[in-house]
């Protein structure tokens, strides 16, 4: 009632973890059941100094008190048993907090409260014909660390240029299949990382040893780097069939001597060919894709030893050339990503 009927060539479900699009379109949603129910609340404590600030693991779960007055977070390892369709009462939150902290803490008032779990689920495919899924509609996991934000944005950036190209007729529909092949492994990795995080916090006889091991790993430079790269979600490398480590990765922000940066050139919404060596053969080859690829030549301050780099509209490197590489391979890469649809 009160809705509107619209017609479109494609539908992208970005409607969250309880996605109506996913359900009505018949996508599966498979994964693991929750180990905990989490709570975030804004409360008034009868004694605001009774619980110390900080992150605290106990024999019954975890609680977090931040410097923000009245803010408290909790993880109750109940196997997700709490019925989240029910209202969050002061009595329930107080009972959970007392059990986790082992104190008689009293909540005078609850101003705001929400609940969540660590259920980790993902669709097998992100595309079924003309229906696609992105963000939490395609995958859910524990919100700890806020990893879902970058994951969802990554989905949108990857799909956006491909769907636009197909809709304009400048790319074949098969390009949309690369959305699942590129993004599904990224989502699966985040779900596994999330499960591992929860495993380190779950109360149990082996948990202290596991946390000690993780702490030792994070105390190393390599361990810290790995954790940062995984949680940020900004350092993924898609398998594009080229062994070069930059191909499939987000491009560095190459900067030309006049101050023009790669980011400036990507604003056109097209691919970008950076020709640091001003190769005439490469310039000529680029002309056959001039409606879809911005060509820019000249020395760059940070060319990293490359003579040329082809960047997709989403900032991902599709091809590179160095002194010992045949620039004619550019045509193969350009044809793969920037071939107009054939009708």
Record the pTM. 0.91
d(C-alpha 143, C-alpha 132), whole Å: 23
State which H helix or E strand residue 54 sits in: strand 54-58
Look over the chain and give the mean of its residue pLDDT values, rounded to a whole number: 92
* Contact yes or no for 25/13 (Cβ under 8 A): yes
Question: Could you read off the pLDDT of 162-220 as tens digits, one per residue?
Answer: 999 999 998 999 999 999 999 999 999 999 999 999 999 999 999 999 999 999 999 99
Return the pLDDT at 342. Answer: 62
Question: Could you read off the pLDDT of 283-313 as tens digits, one per residue?
Answer: 888 888 989 999 999 998 888 889 999 999 9
Question: Could you read off the pLDDT of 231-242 as tens digits, one per residue?
Answer: 776 678 999 999
* Contact yes or no for 288/214 (Cβ under 8 A): no
% pLDDT > 90, the chain = 78
Residue 147 — very low, low, confident or very high, per pLDDT cuts 50/70/90?
confident
Write down all domains in the chain, each with its CATH number in brackets: 11-31+121-232 (3.50.50.60), 37-117 (3.30.70.2450), 262-337 (3.40.30.120)
Q: Is residue 314 helix, strand or coil?
A: coil
Q: In terms of Cα–Cα distance, which of 142, 264, 271, 319 is closest to 151?
A: 142
Q: In terms of Cα–Cα distance, which of 261, 258, 51, 64 is closest to 143?
A: 64
Query: For residue 23, which phi and psi values (nearest 5 degrees)?
Result: -70, -50
Q: List Cβ neighbours of 77 (8 Å cut-off, separation of 6 or more).
A: 35, 36, 60, 61, 202, 203
């Amino acid at each position: 009632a009160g809705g509107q009927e619209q017609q479109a060539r494609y539908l992208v479900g970005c409607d969250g973890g309880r996605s109506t699009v996913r359900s009505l379109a018949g996508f599966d949603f498979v994964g693991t059941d929750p180990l905990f129910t989490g709570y975030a609340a804004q409360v008034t404590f009868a004694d605001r100094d009774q619980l110390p600030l900080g992150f605290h693991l106990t024999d019954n779960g975890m609680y977090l008190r931040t410097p923000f007055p009245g803010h408290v977070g909790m993880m109750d390892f109940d196997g997700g048993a709490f019925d989240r369709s029910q209202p969050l009462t002061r009595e329930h939150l107080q009972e959970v907090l007392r059990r986790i902290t082992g104190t008689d803490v009293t909540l005078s008032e609850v101003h705001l409260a929400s609940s969540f779990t660590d259920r980790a689920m993902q669709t097998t495919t992100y595309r079924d014909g003309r229906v696609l899924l992105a963000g939490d509609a395609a995958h859910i996991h524990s919100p700890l660390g806020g990893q879902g934000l970058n994951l969802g944005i990554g989905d949108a950036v990857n799909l956006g240029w491909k769907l636009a190209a197909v809709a304009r007729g400048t790319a074949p529909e098969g390009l949309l299949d690369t959305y699942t092949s590129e993004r599904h492994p990224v989502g699966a990795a985040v779900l596994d990382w999330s499960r591992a995080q929860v495993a380190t916090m779950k109360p149990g006889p082996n948990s202290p040893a596991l946390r000690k091991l993780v702490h030792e790993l994070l105390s190393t430079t390599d361990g810290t780097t790995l954790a940062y790269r995984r949680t940020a979600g900004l350092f993924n490398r898609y398998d594009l069939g080229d062994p070069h480590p930059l191909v499939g990765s987000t491009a560095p922000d190459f900067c030309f001597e006049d101050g023009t940066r790669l980011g400036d050139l990507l604003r056109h919404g097209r691919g970008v060919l950076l020709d640091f060596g001003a190769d005439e053969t490469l310039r000529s080859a680029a002309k056959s894709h001039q409606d879809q690829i911005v060509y820019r030549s000249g020395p760059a301050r940070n060319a990293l030893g490359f003579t040329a780099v082809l960047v997709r509209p989403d900032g991902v490197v599709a091809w590179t050339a160095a002194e010992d590489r045949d620039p004619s391979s550019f045509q193969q890469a350009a044809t793969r990503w920037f071939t107009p649809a054939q009708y």
